[in-house]
Amino acid sequence: MRDGVLITGISGNLGRTLAKVLHRTERVIGLDRRPFPGKPKDLEVHLIDIRKRKVEDLFRKGDIKALIHMAIVHDPRLAQAEHHSFNVLGTKAVLEYASRYGVEKVVVLSSTNVYGPQPDNDNFLTEESPLLGSQRFPEIRDLVEVDMYAQQYMWKHPKVETAIVRPVHIVGPNVKNAPSTYLRLKYPWTLAGFDPMVQLIHEEDVALALSLALKPGVRGLFNLVGPGELPLSSVLRELGRQPIPVPHMIARPLLNKLFDYRLAGFPGAELDHLQFLCTVDGGRAERELGFRPVYTLRETIRSVLGEVAPRVQRTTAA
């Protein structure tokens, strides 16, 4: 019987959150090369690198009805070649297996980084906006490529219901991505004279949206927006941070140098997010997925402090 939901990258912080939401109602199968700490007993996790042939065996059994692909790394410290190979080849492999072995639904986790912060961006980018993310930040071109590959796949395999989900900056008590790490800094840099509007989404709200994307009939591209948008300065004020404004002319080369000497966790190109808009319209996910964030704006911001109690029960009960 086809009842399995395969989650790639399940041992990541977001993957574990999703697994905990989904495994009550679905038979979840995990795939990751890293172990899953605190794994629920009834959860089946395979420790395999996504590029290995053995992954095909998981599909060959024929009991997978849906694939949620979130094994996409974004680590600026990782060698470019490894980054590219893991993301692009990994995606290509699992998506091919999905169509070959009759998986009905594929959900790919992308992000709004594929649009990229630009000075002339619309205030609310729609799913049809061009993916210019790698124009100013070439190191993320594999993330754009993964998104494009998934779109191409959506057209090539009309029998597989494919949904590409692009959430805004994911934050939460568990995630350790660039935005969360930045917001946990006591003295974060800002760019002097810039204060763009930003959108944040709670990790559990992303998990909720991904589970909604499993509904039959859902296909296409979906921006995922949290509970609204606000200036970066208001986020930092809410968290009680003491920002250090740095002139943008020197900030970028300086941060690049610090990153090279391993004194900073972000390359200079990430500063674009502190300077320009990369905010999106989440209307389609609201209409077609029925997605509404559970966490309020204040709760979402404060979640990086790890103080808001998780609401997994409430979201699944609703």
The residues that touch other proteins, with contacts defined as CB under 8 A, are: 119-124, 126, 191-197, 227-231, 234, 238, 247-248, 276-277, 281-283, 293, 296-298
Instruction: Give phi and psi for 206, each to the nearest 5.
Output: -65, -45
Report the distance separating Cα 151 and Cα 145, nearest Å. 10
Q: Which is nearer to other proteins, 141 or 166 (CB)?
A: 166
Using the minimum distance from each CB to other proteins, give the nearer residue, 139 or 281: 281
By C-beta, is 56 or 238 nearer to other proteins?
Answer: 238
Q: Two tokens at 281?
A: 């319209």
Calpha distance 114→137 (Å, rounded): 10
**Shortest distance in whole angstroms from residue 37 CB to other proteins:** 34
- Shortest distance (Å) from residue 46 CB to other proteins: 40
- Decide whether 47 or 249 has the Cβ nearer to other proteins: 249
Q: Which of 87/303 has CB closer to other proteins?
A: 303
In the bound complex, what is the minimum distance in angstroms from residue 258's beta carbon to other proteins? 21
Dihedral pair phi/psi, residue 202, rounded to 5°: -75, 145
Output the smallest distance, CB 292 to other proteins, in A.
9
CB 178 within 8 A of CB 274: no
- Least Å from the CB of residue 165 to other proteins: 18
Paired with 165 in beta bridges are: 109, 222
Query: Which of 147, 229 has the CB closer to other proteins?
Result: 229
Minimum CB distance to other proteins, residue 112 (Å): 14
Task: Output 113 or 300, the one with its CB closest to other proteins.
Answer: 300
Report H helices in the chain: 13-22, 54-60, 80-84, 90-100, 133-136, 141-156, 178-183, 203-212, 232-238, 248-260, 272-275, 283-284, 297-302, 312-317
Distance (Å, rounded) from C-alpha 318 to C-alpha 301?
Answer: 23
Q: Which residues contact 8 (CB under 8 A, 6 or more apart)?
A: 31, 32, 50, 67, 68, 69, 70, 71, 90, 94
Instruction: State the minimum distance, in angstroms, from the CB of residue 251 to other proteins.
Output: 11
Q: Which of 304, 262, 283 is nearest to 176 (CA)?
A: 304
